[in-house]
A and B are shown apart, each in its own frame.
Chain A
Amino acid sequence: DIVMTQTPSSQAVSAGEKVTMSCKSSQSLLYSENKKNYLAWYQQKPGQSPKLLISWASTRESGVPDRFIGSGSGTDFTLTISSVQAEDLAVYYCEQYYDTPPTFGGGTKLELK
């Protein structure tokens, strides 16, 4: 199985701050035939189900604010929140869907400083 490693596991932030979090996979998620990275980011707020934010490493889902930016390729990926808002406090998970079984990282929890 592909192992997904997220760092940091938690991060204390202030509103308006720029935040970056990392996701690394144990093997490349770049599919050579279509040049796409099979990597997604989900947001899970307390008491809620996960919400898909970004697919294909950098494609924002409809309705997702443009302060959420996904980047990276191969085995190294980053989720950036350009200016954190209070409503962004949540746990963020990356997921690889390059291979079966799909696997998730352990999550990065954003907390208020």
Chain B
Amino acid sequence: EVQLVESGGGLVQPGRSMKLSCAASGFTFSDYYMAWVRQAPKKGLEWVASISYEGSSTYYGDSVKGRFTISRDNAKSTLYLQMNSLRSEDTATYYCARHFSGSTTVVTLFDYWGQGVMVTVSS
């Protein structure tokens, strides 16, 4: 059974940093692109970042580019999101998601999601 379990959220002050983790199990982690998608309270979904199989390629949404860093440790089957210079508008539930792999090319379609971790940016 595919499982994605996020951790590391909480309350943080504006301008500070926070690192999220996502522990994956039930599949071969290194065979999949992975992503972070967030959802502000009572709002819709926003793609944050994606990372390639070995971590050599990373992709970011404009709202987080230059502030957030996605990374992975395939030996630990763990995905990370380092968030720096946090702003109030970064307040959201952050979901770890697995990219769909049944395509000849990589697509930003997400077939499994974690339960999410809440990040609140406030003084």
* Chain A interfacial positions (CB closer than 8 Å to B): 38, 40, 42, 48-52, 55, 61, 93, 95, 97, 100-107
Please name all residues of chain B whose beta carbon is closer than 8 Å to the beta carbon of A61 when the two chains form the complex: 111
Please name all residues of chain B whose beta carbon is closer than 8 Å to the beta carbon of A100 when the two chains form the complex: 59, 108
CA distance A102 to B33 in the complex (A): 14
A-B pairs with beta carbons under 8 A, tally: 48
Secondary structure of the A contact surface, majority rule? loop
* Chain B interfacial positions (CB closer than 8 Å to A): 44-47, 59, 61-62, 95, 100, 107-116
CA distance A103 to B37 in the complex (A): 11
Distance to closest chain A CB from B2 (angstroms): 12
With A38-B107, A100-B59 in contact, is A51–B44 under 8 Å at CB?
no
Please name all residues of chain A whose beta carbon is closer than 8 Å to the beta carbon of B95 when the two chains form the complex: 49-50
Q: Of A38, A61, A102, A103, which is in contact with the most chain B CB atoms at under 10 Å from its CB?
A: A102
Please name all residues of chain B whose beta carbon is closer than 8 Å to the beta carbon of A102 when the two chains form the complex: 47, 108-109
Q: Would you give 21 A-B contacts (Cβ < 8 Å), ordered by A?
A: A38-B107, A49-B115, A49-B116, A50-B45, A50-B95, A50-B110, A51-B113, A52-B109, A52-B110, A55-B111, A95-B45, A95-B109, A97-B107, A97-B109, A101-B61, A102-B47, A102-B108, A102-B109, A104-B44, A104-B46, A106-B44
